[in-house]
Amino acid sequence: DGDGVGDNGDAFPTDATETKDSDGDGVGDNADAFPNDASETTDSDGDGVGDNADAFPDDATETTDSDGDGVGDNSDVDRDNDGLSDELELRTSADIVDWPVQTGNASFTNGVLSANGGSWSYQANSARFSTYGFSDSYRLNFTVDALGSNNMFGLGNIESSASYGDIDYAFYIVNTTLYIYESGAYRGNFGSNSVAVGDVLTLEVDNGTVRYLRNGEQIREITYAGDTPDFYVDSSFYNGAMRLSNIELTPLSGSGFTVDVDNDGVTNDVDLDSDNDTIPDVVEAGLTDADGDLMVDSIDLQASVDPAPDSDGDGIPDYLDLESQNALNDGTAFDMHGYDFAAFDTNGDGMLTLQDGEGGSDLNGNGVDDRAEDSDGDGISNPNDEDDDNDGTLDIYDAFPFDPNEDTDTDGDGVGDNGDAFPTDVTETLDSDGDGTGNNADIDNDNDGLSNAVEKRVSVDVTHWTYFNGNAEFTDDELRANGGSWAHQANSERFSTYGFTDRYQLTFKVASLGSYNMLGLGSVESSASYTDIDYAFYLSNGNLYIYENGTNISDAINPRVAVGDTLSIEVSQDIIVYRHNDNTVREVFISGSLPDFYIDSSFHSGNFRISDIQLIPQSGAGSSLDEDGDNVLNEFDLDSDNDTIPDVLEAGIWSVGDSLTLTDLSLQGSVDPAPDSDGDNIPDYLDLESQNPLNDGTSYDINNTYFAAFDTNGDGRLNTDDDFGGEDNNANGMSDFVEEFGGSPSSSH
């Protein structure tokens, strides 16, 4: 055809416009809208979904029709045809808009609570939360729009005074400092600059516990006795322009907490049984289902029900309520137990799920357990059907009665023989790299020369200590001391020796509390005492304090520290964050260049031990098991950083086949440590600039490959953000575009 490609290498020797057919579907790559997908060739509406899979191939605004009603999901107000609108089924919060008490200049307008103070008697009180259907296990959120000067707000129970003394649990903002007060009593503060415009402040009420959070991080927890009061928002505005917006209640757990209440992977708006109680949503919406298709009998009834029925008045609509006739929700009157499928709820939780001996299968993905419907559509409900999947094997002999593709499980591992790479080996089901060794036993699941253990590392143990004094020692991966004076101490090597200079977290577990001991970050060793520890935790018989350069910064922090607790200090550019069991207890801003920290300590008395001392990156290479975010874990990903250079090449191995994996299987898992050409502690296979320790975006590896021009957004990766990136139909982590050319030869490799 005179196209410059010889006939032997030309998939279309008589067509000058085509030379390749990458997916073998008979359509040349130039004309194929999906050259790496054999199931698709055309995209008539240009929406990125092939015509064969597109329910609306000529409409670029629609691709799916979940309920088969002829209306695309994007336009459909009721995607599962259960009579409940999508908007209703996706609600997860209630805005607080009813404020019966507003005194002084306090007012609620356009969704914003505002006041300009004048005295503590200026206040606004909301309606009690029970009017919104919340009595316990909920979260109250506020967004700070303006700080004011001296203002307090939180949870009230009994209105005994027009002041702050009757606010049971309150945030108190003084300019930029955040305090906590409870029934008028001071409980602690978090330093200057601890609250800012835009911050979200939260109070959680959870079965006898109240938690305070700032921007999602817990800062205090307290327990109370007795029944949970019917709280309301109480406030007191003394001075300055204060504004709060987005004041809302969200459930902490149970019905309504998420858009997928029964956690079956099907969101409520397309789930025909949103609470998995075997009663279809259409029935619990108060409608009929004459034909048994679990949907409304007339399209006119779509989204016709709002509000959803709540038979017992507990604030939980019936379609989400496992006990819709029992406001106590105490597990004594599950709806399911009054119906045909009660016997299948073997764990007695009122739901038919994977935890039940007969539950958990939903092959058609409609949110209804296959036991509770007619899986094969033959007009016989599953409990009355001898062959539920109509595959010719009776259910009593079928290991997978709802899966027409499987009926046998020879090794009894839960995976059918047809889908099991090792049907007679109960310990294995998959062989990702096709080397004949199952993934569970394989030390190198992607055959790139880097062991699974190497590719799953996301932390570094701190094991090197440059200085010990007194009885301090590091033994059996524990730092230990029995004190004697503040001069007893241990110092680690500087963190730069581990490759950490910024954006990391130092974390350790408390193995023994001791009596008076201090440990944290040091930068300059100026004394054999605690005064030169820049940022330190001070443990005093279980009480936790913060000290910085010898100065006490905080009162005792609740809760107390216990053996087994984790303490951590995060270093992130100009911020130091202290955490106790992942709950933030203090943040402090720092200026100037970030020091090369080390662990500094001072042990005064008592048997003190810490273990699991680690440095963990906060962002960038090595902080994730899926470094490039392509949903293929590093251990299975042939290009873990998506720079178009296969991991096997960046591991320094040249024995590579067309599949971009090892040709010599004896080299599996042979590379440890992984090469780090520029010495920046980021291994080459995760480093977008493996020849540049500055990692400043000036010398991406991809720019030295054939594929530089395809990195259209200039981030050093070939991914979905680039014009020609993102296709990975064989899910091996390597762009199909790169595989088509057999890897990424370059001038530097």
For the chain, the maximum distance between any two Cα atoms, rounded to a whole number of angstroms, is: 94
How distant, in Å, are the alpha carbons of 190, 331, 525, 643, 717 from that of 713?
41, 55, 46, 13, 9
Bigger pLDDT: 131 vs 102: 102
% residues pLDDT > 90 (the chain): 58
Residue 623 has pLDDT above 60, yes or no: no
What does the pLDDT read at residue 620? Answer: 52
Residue with the bigger pLDDT between 318 and 363: it is: 318
Fold of 94-251: Jelly Rolls (2.60.120)
Residue 489 has pLDDT above 50, yes or no: yes
* Residue of 336 and 743 predicted with greater confidence: 336
The fold adopted by the segment(s) 460-617 is Jelly Rolls (2.60.120)
Mean pLDDT value of segment 626-651: 91
417 phi, psi to nearest 5 deg: -55, -35
Q: What are the pLDDT digits (tens) for 193-219?
A: 889 999 999 999 988 899 999 999 999
Q: Please indicate whether residue 578 or residue 132 has the higher confidence score (pLDDT).
A: 578
pLDDT in tens, 302-334: 999 987 888 887 667 899 889 999 888 889 999
Q: Where are the domains of the chain?
A: 19-63, 78-91+257-345, 94-251, 460-617, 622-749
Token output for 82: 């259960």
Residue 749, pLDDT score: 41
Phi, psi (5° rounding) for residue 57?
Answer: -65, -15
| CB of 71 closer than 8 Å to CB of 96 | no
Q: Which of 81-85, 139-143, 219-223, 524-528 has the lowest mean pLDDT?
A: 524-528
Contacts of 720 (CB under 8 A, 6+ apart): 726
Report the pLDDT value the prediction gives residue 748, as an integer from 0 to 100: 42
Tell me the pLDDT tens digit for each residue of 251-300: 775 445 568 888 888 999 999 999 999 899 999 999 998 877 889 999 89
Q: What is the DSSP string of 390-402?
A: -SSS-GGG-SSTT
Position 622 scores a pLDDT of 58
The neighbouring-strand residues paired with 232 are: 156
Using 50, 70 and 90 to split pLDDT, how confident is the model at 109?
very high
460-617 and 94-251 share a CATH fold: yes
Instruction: Give the pLDDT of residue 460.
Output: 81
Nearest to 73 by CA among 58, 89, 90, 55: 55
Q: Cis peptide before 423, with omega less than 30 degrees from 0?
A: no
Chain mean pLDDT for the chain: 89
pLDDT tens readout for residues 683-700: 899 999 999 988 889 999
H or E stretch including 202?
strand 200-205
pLDDT band at residue 621 using 50, 70 and 90 as cut-offs: low
Put simply, whether the predicted model's pTM sits higher than 0.85 gets the answer no
**Which string of b and e fits 132-164 if b means at least 16 CB within 10 Å?**
bbbbbebbbbbbbbbbbebbbbbbbbeeeebbb
Residue 453: predicted pLDDT = 81
Q: What is the pLDDT of residue 619?
A: 55
Closest by Cα among 496, 506, 491, 499 to 569: 506
Both tokens of residue 311?
């038979």
Determine contact, residues 570/577, Cβ cutoff 8 Å: yes
Percent over 70 (pLDDT), the chain: 96
Name residue 571's beta-bridge partners.
504, 576
